[in-house]
Amino acid sequence: MDSSLTLGRLEHGRAAVIPDARLNGPGAKDRSAQNAGTRAGPLGCVPLSHQVAGHKYGVDKVGILQHPDGTVLKQLQPPPRGPREMQFYSMIYAKDCCDPCLLELQEHLPKYYGTWSSPDNPTELYLKLEDVTRRFQKPCIMDVKIGQRSYDPFASQEKREQQIRKYPLMEEIGFLLLGMRVYNVGLDSFDTYNQHYGRGLMKDTVKDGLCKFFYNGDLLRRDVITASITKVQNILRWFENQSQLNFYASSLLFVYEGLPLTLDEKSSTLQKNEGFLSTITTLIRVSPPCTPCTRSKAICRASIKASRTTACGMTASHIRTPASRRPTRRSKQRSV
């Protein structure tokens, strides 16, 4: 299955320390302006202004829109990926769903409100999803693809080679930073980093690359780091304990409030800035490599995709649900 789901719901409000590590590279930084020049969507819908990765409306054939009611619209992809993604959300959020595994999964996903289409073009369907960034005033967002490979087991050799070439280091470290935006409290603006920035991170700079997301120009948000680790571990625990679904080319969406800390919060974080790098390392290793999905467990950590939207997790803005096929050896497993 190619990719297109977003799991993982990591939220947080405020946070912690360390000077900004300066990194150079192609596409490293883009201050503020986003979605300039994109066309308007149907019936008052507009391109998602805070999208940091994925297909963008008006630029790609399939993109993300913001509905006037505040929800996010993800255009349904062509078969088989689109129908499979819709079936996945319908199954997870079915009113009669009583499967404990699927009910727990709801905690790591954006809420699903069914499908939507414009009266002017009723055949063009969109998934209607929660915008998990909506409650934040200055949402800092990071989208991280996780896993050692970004293709499904049934991908052609050409597709595999293409994906590997995009970021060869992914097979070793198990993730790729797709994009992020961070609120700079001193400049009162957002610093944005695109996929080229992520692909330019090498083994010796990737920790500093992640560090940028937690640094607001004044403090390193240690509280956000701690909350992120805890929530990612909760998502990982769900994957380790379930045997129904396989996820490929998935990503985690991290979101937190970028407004300045209060004086009390700032004082607290300044006293606890030791151990930052080891904490970040822990976060990186939350999804360790493993053998392909041929073991008794249904999932391969190297191909998990998690995302939701709040202080640390995945946001509905980048929902990428993989489009995989049903495994031939496991008739009881479902692939997403």
Q: Which two tokens stand for residue 184?
A: 């700079």
The mean pLDDT value for 197-207 works out to 94
Q: Are 38 and 58 in contact (CB under 8 A)?
A: yes
Sequence-ordered strand ranges (E) for the chain: 3-5, 30-31, 46-47, 64-66, 72-75, 112-118, 121-129, 139-146, 175-184, 189-193, 245-246, 250-257, 320-321, 334-335
3-class secondary structure, 275: coil
Q: In what order do the strands lie in the sheet with 30-31?
A: 30-31, 189-193, 175-184, 139-146, 250-257
Instruction: Provide mean pLDDT across the span 239-245.
Output: 92
Q: What is the mean pLDDT of residues 48-55?
A: 76
Angle at the Cα of 131 from the Cα atoms of 127 and 132, rounded to 5 degrees: 130
Q: How many other CB atoms sit within 10 Å of the CB of residue 248?
A: 29
User: Is the residue at 209 inside a domain?
Assistant: yes
If one counts every other C-beta atom within 10 angstroms of the C-beta of residue 134, the result is 16
Which amino acid is located at 56 in the chain?
A: K
Number of helices (H), then strands (E), in the chain: 9, 14
Residue 239 lies in a domain: yes
Which CATH number fits the domain that encloses residue 176?
Answer: 3.30.470
C-alpha distances out from residue 65 to 9, 32, 60, 69, 171, Å: 20, 19, 12, 11, 32
pLDDT above 70 for 186: yes
Q: What is the pLDDT of residue 268?
A: 58
pLDDT of residue 61: 55
User: Is the residue at 41 inside a domain?
Assistant: no
Give yes or no for residue 274 having a pLDDT over 50.
Answer: no
Indicate yes or no: pTM above 0.85: no
Q: How far apart are CA 109 and CA 107, in angstroms?
A: 6
Count: domains in the chain: 1
- Domain range for 197: 3-32+133-335
Inside any domain, residue 224: yes
* Residue 279 domain flag: yes
Residue 242 domain flag: yes
Confidence class for position 157, pLDDT limits 50, 70, 90:
very high
85-139: pLDDT as tens digits: 899 999 999 999 999 999 999 999 999 999 999 988 899 999 999 998 989 999 9
Q: Which amino acid is at 58?
A: G
Alpha-carbon torsion (91, 92, 96, 100), positive or negative: positive
- What tokens does 30 get? 């883009």
Is a pLDDT exceeding 50 seen at residue 35? no
Q: Say which amino acid occupies 274.
A: E
Instruction: Look at residue 114 and tell me if it is in a domain.
Output: no
Indicate the average pLDDT of the chain: 73
For residue 50, the model assigns a pLDDT of: 82
Mean pLDDT on 46-72 = 79
3-state secondary structure of 77: coil
Residue 313 backbone dihedrals phi, psi, to 5 degrees = 160, -155
Instruction: Identify whether 90 is part of a domain.
Output: no
Give the length of the chain. Answer: 336
